[in-house]
Amino acid sequence: MKKILENEIARGVMIALLGVDTFITLCLGSYVFTDYGIGHINVHPFVTGVLIVAGLALFALIMRSAGHYGGKEEISPNYFDRVPLEIYLAVDGGIFMGLIGLLAWFIRLIVGFEIIFFLLRGIYLSAIFMCMSIAVRCKSHTLLTNTLIYMTFSGIRSIYRKTRDTVVFYFSSLTFIWQVLITVAALGAFDLLLYLWCRNEPGIYTVIKLTEFGFIALLDARYAVGYHRIRLGTEKIAAGDTDYNIETAGLPKTMVEQAENLNSINIAVANAVAKQMRSEKLKTELITNVSHDIKTPLTSIINYIDLIKKENITQKPLADYVDVVGRQSDRLKKLVVDLVEASKASTGNITVNLATTGLKLLLNQAVGEYSEKAENAGLELTTTLPEEEMYILTDGRLLWRVFDNLLNNACKYSQPGTRVYINLEKKSEKAIITFKNVSKTQLNISPDQLMERFVRGDSSRNTEGSGLGLNIAQSLTEILNGKMSLHIDGDLFKVVLIFDVI
């Protein structure tokens, strides 16, 4: 409301100020023009001072109200305020200087005050309008931007940026070979033109060529740094470092997209790994919890079956039923134990007591333990062991579990009437243990799949087993700082264990 009031006041003030300034001019002119023979006008000095102060106050009010047109609070530049500053100053300044020139000419002619005051009014108005326009431009922050120089340079800069972006877009869309060829061709054309232009000026030619070589060297260094970053990042990502991020700051634009794609791949891999780990953790926790929940009622079932067997039931069908229930209960108990053991082995939540252990002795004990079972399955256990004992640092109890699982699988799935080979040898300070047997069913499955949980070579699942034996053996081997690999060649099934010899 204040600005609106000032705006309305300023409309009348502009007219009043002209009259006030006329008296001020009369006061000053009475002294200035006396030397030219113009009559002296007697105005009291106090009145002159008051008029000057009033004129300055009114001028300040006009400058404050400039730009508030139509009763609006915000600044609203008019048509003249939108004219480029150089053009406006040239026109208004030309009028101003022209009127001053006429004033000086008429003063020399010693004409009447009417013409002189008319010229003073024109000078005053041109000065006021110039000051008002500059005030509006300052208030609307267009004093510098609304100039021909600024608009010219802004247009040149806009054209340069559009041209640059267009060239970069089409250049970056080309293959690397075409980019190199175009760059070499451009440098060749530049060198030819430079030679034709400066062939008679060897000094200038040398300076420009040295500048060109320096620019090319800096460009090559930038691309070399970018290539090193991308290559290092690729190696880190390939090695499984999902936290590594390639720094794109300072890279050439043609390399930024490649680096960002690699970072995106790494983030996607990290998310996939995290999701897989959460899934495995939930699966393991589920298996562990369910297994523990099953163990309590299963133990009660087994105990009551044992009590029933002690009753010496002679009735034939009932006795057979009890034997079946007892056998299946034992099988279920073994499955629960395998589940718990597989869960512990895969998560590493198992106690390991490392000690010096003789492999030859442990293998002989395992073979002796399974001799009768192998014979009942129509198999022959054939061992090839070194004469001297071979020692490794391991947990004998867990390694025995590995041998137990492998021999148990061999007895279940080997072709009757064949041999199961167990070899122990030393190569390059490594103890290599090999289990080989011929499968009685077709092995139409990859070794990696066979190592997974709940996967069995017997797809018909006619034989007893949980499909956890190989997975448990592999997990325990890794816990014992060893390596386990599985090889299938036709019906030949081979497992290789490798440990460090001490």
Q: Cα separation of 245 and 263, whole Å?
A: 6
Inside any domain, residue 415: yes
- 129 in the same domain as 227: no
Q: How many domains does the chain have?
A: 4
- 415 in the same domain as 294: no
pLDDT at res. 490: 82
pTM above 0.75? no
Inside any domain, residue 245: no
- 418 in the same domain as 310: no
Length, in residues, of the chain? 502
- Of 393, 397, 385, 395, which is closest to residue 360 (Cα–Cα)? 385
Token duo for residue 430 = 């490594």
Report the interhelical angle of 316-347 vs 253-309 (nearest 10°): 150
- 451 in the same domain as 331: no
Q: Which of 350, 380, 408 is the last residue of a domain?
A: 350
pLDDT at res. 36: 43
The CATH number given to whatever domain includes residue 376 is 3.30.565.10
Q: Cα-atom radius of gyration of the chain, to the nearest Å?
A: 50
Q: Which of 324, 350, 376 is the last residue of a domain?
A: 350
- Angle (CA) 269-346-403 rounded to 5° is 135
- 137 in the same domain as 6: yes
Inside any domain, residue 259: no
- 462 in the same domain as 376: yes
pLDDT at res. 17: 53
Inside any domain, residue 264: no
Inside any domain, residue 323: yes
- 314 in the same domain as 361: no
List Cα–Cα distances, 150 to 88, 202, 490, 495, in angstroms. Answer: 15, 39, 82, 80
Q: Cα separation of 57 and 54, whole Å?
A: 5
Q: Cα separation of 353 and 9, whole Å?
A: 99
Domain span at residue 289 reads: 273-350
- 196 in the same domain as 129: no
The CATH number given to whatever domain includes residue 342 is 1.10.287.130
- 319 in the same domain as 230: no
- 358 in the same domain as 492: yes
**Is the alpha carbon torsion for 278, 280, 283, 284 positive or negative?**
negative
CB atoms within 10 A of CB 269: 13
Inside any domain, residue 191: yes
- 34 in the same domain as 110: yes
430, β-bridge pairs: 427, 500
- Per-residue tens of pLDDT for the chain, all 502 residues: 444 444 445 545 554 555 555 555 555 544 444 444 444 445 556 766 776 777 777 777 777 777 776 656 677 787 788 888 888 888 888 887 877 777 666 665 655 555 666 677 677 778 888 888 888 888 888 888 888 899 999 999 999 999 988 888 888 777 778 888 888 888 888 888 888 888 788 888 888 888 888 888 888 888 888 888 888 888 888 887 878 888 888 787 778 888 888 888 888 888 887 887 787 777 777 777 777 777 778 788 888 888 888 877 777 788 888 888 888 888 788 777 777 776 776 666 677 888 999 999 999 999 999 999 999 999 999 999 998 999 999 988 889 989 988 998 899 889 999 999 999 999 988 999 999 999 888 777 777 767 665 454 554 444 455 567 788 888 889 888 999 999 888 889 999 999 999 8
Q: Residue 200: phi, psi to the nearest 5?
A: -95, 0
Quick one: DSSP state of residue 80? G
Q: Cα separation of 438 and 320, whole Å?
A: 34
Label each residue of 263-325 as H, E or C: HHHHHHHHHHHHHHHHHHHHHHHHHHHHHHHHHHHHHHHHHHHHHHHCCCCCCHHHHHHHHHH
- 133 in the same domain as 11: yes
Inside any domain, residue 112: yes
Quick one: DSSP state of residue 388? S
Q: Which of 120, 142, 164 is the last residue of a domain?
A: 142
How far apart, in Å, do the first and last CA atoms of the chain sit? 96
Inside any domain, residue 148: no
